[in-house]
Amino acid sequence: MTEATNNLGIREAATGLWRSRWAVGAVVVWLATGAFAQDFDPENPRDDIKGVEIQQNLNARLPLDLLLVDSTGETVRLGDCFTKGKPAILTLNYYKCPMICDIQLKGMVAALQEIDWAIGDEFNIITVSFDPTEGPELAAANKDSYCKLYGRTTARSGWRFMTGSPANIRKLTEIAGFGYRWNESRAEWAHQTALIICTPDGHIARYIPGVAYEPDVIRGALLEASNGKIGSISDAIFFLCYHYDPDANSYVLSAMKVMRLGGTLVAIVLFGGIAWMFIREKARRRAEAARPVGAES
């Protein structure tokens, strides 16, 4: 084996490890949280893991008048983080989280880097700390770090990092169905993770649980939340032909939607053909009526 071939193999192996870094992180988190939950008894839940589930409150309206503080220290309404016509991803984290929040946000960024849509252009992201002791300085540091990791300049305007008062945070998390609890023995917050996909007017459209995400699943959820109003013609066709399968955690081809689309296209073609024949016949009759009497046909 030549040295060049050897180096190529090493580079390919390194590339594979780099691409799978979030998957490895997800496995680590899964093992850690699995060990953490081993002692869980539904009849007698431990205090440190009670109430940390995520309740999927689909179609719930987020409190858009809720006041939060952004990474610059300015007090803003939650509704100010939404843009007309653009869906949004809501993530609930805390900025000093020792592991799972960082892995979730990096997993989201890795998936979004595979999508041609950009944060701030086709959709927004709202990251809110549920730790009321955290302030704008931490929010600003996290924004700088994750926006740099994402690598597209539009993220600076489209990705908001927020903090808030205990009462306002509690109101937001309750409506979003997000449970969390302070674990005194570990000196950290116990919580689960999910991307909460929201419509442009602030309704919850989809939950994507976990810390590692498929780009097509996020893309499909954003497209669905926008009611097919973002993206290209091919995205619109995707929206018309696919539906979300919660068991597979992916968007799959819907036979019913394909049949409906096919029937619509057939109807359009038939109507167009009939209209063309009608117009042609009408033009022929006009030409005959305009022909001088006695002229050859």
Residue ranges and CATH numbers for the domains of the chain are 50-253 (3.40.30.10)
Helix (H) or strand (E) holding 182: strand 180-183
pLDDT of residue 238: 53
Beta bridge partners of 252: 243
Instruction: Report the first-to-last Cα separation within the chain, whole angstroms.
Output: 84
Among the listed residues 99, 62, 95, the one whose alpha carbon sits nearest the alpha carbon of residue 199: 62
Burial degree of 103 (CB within 10 A; 0-12, 13-18, 19+):
buried
pLDDT along the chain (297 residues), means of 10: 44 43 46 40 48 93 98 98 96 96 98 96 98 98 98 97 98 97 93 97 95 93 86 58 61 51 55 71 72 60
> Residue 286's pLDDT is what?
75
Give the model's pLDDT for residue 10: 41
How much is the pTM? 0.69
What is residue 284's predicted lDDT score, i.e. its pLDDT? 73
pLDDT at 265: 53
* pLDDT at residue 91, as a whole number: 98
Instruction: Please answer whether residues 208 and 218 qualify as being in contact, where contact means their C-beta atoms are separated by less than 8 angstroms.
Output: yes
DSSP state of 119: B
In this predicted structure, what is the pLDDT of residue 43?
45
Is residue 106 classed as helix, strand or coil in its secondary structure? Answer: helix
